[in-house]
Every structure is written in structure tokens, then in C-alpha cells.
Structure 1
């Protein structure tokens, strides 16, 4: 029986990782830690967790993800996304454990007008982006055999995400203005988790892998799809990014090329198909 360890287990991806592990054909013993049971920035917490779990594989879904707040909390974002990730990677390397770390489309440089490949240029255009990029670098420095999965626009039927926000606002307001000039690929956390499980046991070379559901849309397109599928009568209007200023800069184009990981897990399904499943599950929870 293999032993797997999941950090950030209370979040939307962490919960889906638990579900994917339970559904996997392997006979896995699961050790899941949320923020209160394992603070990845504290070496003593990591030592205790590794002593208990003795993992064959560790999945790190713990992260600082408040993109705008990071602009005013750069030290905290760095401590979690860089230092904490490095501590986990080091512990995995010392224990002989495989390590899967999750990163973001924000790390890519702007200027590409095609799906982004793992080898494309990276840069940090915001505090969040810089800490996620530095976190990747620290993970691979501490554990060169680790997997880093870059993903984008993650949603699930629970947690804080764009899909749930659009459901709430669509029911509260008669009209919404949604940014239409930021283009990307939504990712259902359940699909990302299942892909991570397969990658971790695939024997594929270490390094960076993109993963997102297939298809391309804007935030406006995604909001419209959520409302149409849930029969919500809300007038959604497209607006430019300049009409919705935020403290942190967002990527204008962050569609991910997933050909590399498709050779391992198959071509990801279309985001709209995944959204239908997510919304169906959300309805059953209400």
C-alpha cells in the first residue's frame, strides 16, 4: 500500500485531490493536512507530518492565492509560495518521496498570441506571479525530480472561485460588467487532481507540465456560460480590463498548451463539459 500526503487539503484543489486518490485504482493510504494541521512554512510541522505520513508521494496544494492582497502582503506571499514550497520539496527529497507542486499561468511573460508552452519565457508581473515563479524554481532546486504543474482559472463546486462568484452575483444583481479582453482556459479542479495523480505515477521525466481544460474563453464568456447553464437572468456586459482596475496585473492571454501532459493523461476535456459537471454537483449540494 502506497502512502500519499496532501497539503492544502481544505481548499478546492486539495479536496479534489482527496477524491481523486480515493477513486484511483491504486491502493493508497491518504494523509490529508489542511492549514490548521500543517503550516508548510514551519519546519516543525513538516517534520511531524512526514513522521506520521511517511509519504511515497506528496501533493502540495497549499499556497497563497490572494492575487490582489499579495501586493500589500509580499512577505507573506513569499513565505508561503517560495519558502514553504522549498521546505516541502526538501523534506520530500530527504525522504525519497515523489513531489507534485502546483503553479500558475501567471508566471508566463505577456506577448504570446498562441497557447503557452512550458519552455516559453517567464516573468513576474505581480507579487503573486513572482512568488509562484520563484516557488517553482525553489522546488526544482531542492528536489530536481519533482513535478511542477502550471494551471489556470481553477474552479470547483466549493471554495472561492469565479464560477461560484458569478452564480452569487448573477442572482443578486440585474446587470454585471465582466472583463472580456483577458483570454485563458478554465480548469476544473477535479480534472487537474486526476491528472496530477496520473502524472505522479507515470514515470515521466521531472519538470514543468501545463494542465488546463481544453478550449478558450474570456472571463465574460465564462460568466455567460455559467448563467446560461443555470438559467440565471442577468444582463452580462463585456468590459475592457481598463474599466475594472485591480491592484495586481492580470495576464491578457494565458491559454496553456497541454500537449506535453496529454501524452501522459490524454487530451483534457473541454472546459464547458467540465463546467456542466461542476454545476450539476453544486446543485446537489444546495
Structure 2
């Protein structure tokens, strides 16, 4: 089975290790990222081949962490290929002729998290995990619960104990195990790191983070395809940790690297709500 996914490589020191449920470099503690055989992808992938693919994010399978290779099963709820809406009136008010809004609220569990979790759950199943888990404050819990149900895996979602009940109401439909933790999200995340090591569970945003993070690239792929295989001048995305911006930028670079779009300097911008804007505040 053909796969273009190669290794995990440290973003800091460049050390490489085989693909597996790892997220931090043992040499320098830097973050790990997926590497690909871009030359092979360039030879094999075309706009026409992508157009013949499924109407989900897996139409870009060659550019995603595809450990099992073409033909191996993926965990796909039907995520992706969401509408790109030409916001003509809003654009006119802002003085923009071509303003588009990407509506990822129509994904299966109603957020862009489905992109990342579909890729991470597929990797988890390939690595032989029977339990998938996450630390979450809402959207990610919903997505993990939904994908676990699809894959026939057990799901554990860890949340702050004071989280509003409405934020995980959708998760309950899939009957995951919900663990409320006293403390804030950072406390929850630290506990999950310990649990991942102790129980050998697949945490999408911890030991599967390199695979999870790659799913966000498909936002860039879809926007370029929907614009007639052209990159936009600028892209504005919401920020929590800011990782979404990094992967969107990488997505456009990927498309240039494999010859699917012409080179273009895309301005990738992040936005945060005024009530919770630590990154925006730090850049002021």
C-alpha cells in the first residue's frame, strides 16, 4: 500500500524517529512533526485525482499522515468540504471585493476539531489503541466522543469540573466516559499527560498531537481548491493556542511544494475574542 508519510522529526534539532504515538523529542524536548516524501507526492497527486476523491478531508489523503497507506481504513464521519461562502455584503462594508467565510460549523460535531480528530483517531486505530481520549473544554470532547463511537473505541474526555454543562451536552449522545477534574484546563492537561503514560491510552492532543495537528491543514487545501486552486491573499483564523495558524500556513506551503498551486505569500492572521485574548495581547 502506498504511503507518503515517513517519520517524526523534531522541529528544533531535526532528530528523526519512526512513526508512533510520540510528541516530544527525546534529544532536546522539542515538538515532533510528521515528515513526508514530497517528491513522490508531486509525481502522483494531481488536481484531477483529488477531485475524484471522497467529499471529505480524506480527498487529500496523500498530504495527510496515512500510516497504513492507500486502501487502509480511515475513521471518517464525513468531515470537511464545508461551504466557502462569498460574503458580498460584509465584504462591501469592509471594502473587500472577495471576502469569503469558511463555515466549519457544519462538520459532523459542529467544529473544525473534527478535522484533527479524524486524522488522530485513524492513527490511533492503526497503532492498536482501543481507547481514545482528550483534555477538553467542549468542542474537542464532542469530536473525540463521536469519532470513538464511529471507530468502535472507548472514549474518555477530561474536563475542568466547573465547565458549563452545555459545552459537553453533545458528547453525551455518544456515551463517553467523562472525567471532571478540579482545576483549570492546564491542570486537566497535566493530569492527562500522566494518564497517557500510565494507562497507554491514545490522547489526541498529547501523545498523538503530531497526527492530530496535521488535520487542520485541510482548511488550507479546501480553500485553495474552492477558489479554483488559487491561494487567497490573506486568511484570518480564530486562535486558542495558535497552532491552527501554523498548520494553515503549512497547508498552503504543501500545495506549492507539490505543484497544486502557484507560489504566493499568504498573510495568515489570527483573531481572538476580547474576553480571552492572551496571544493578541502579547503581540500588542
TM > 0.5 between the two? Answer: no
Normalising by structure 1, what TM-score?
A: 0.27
Normalising by structure 2, what TM-score?
A: 0.27
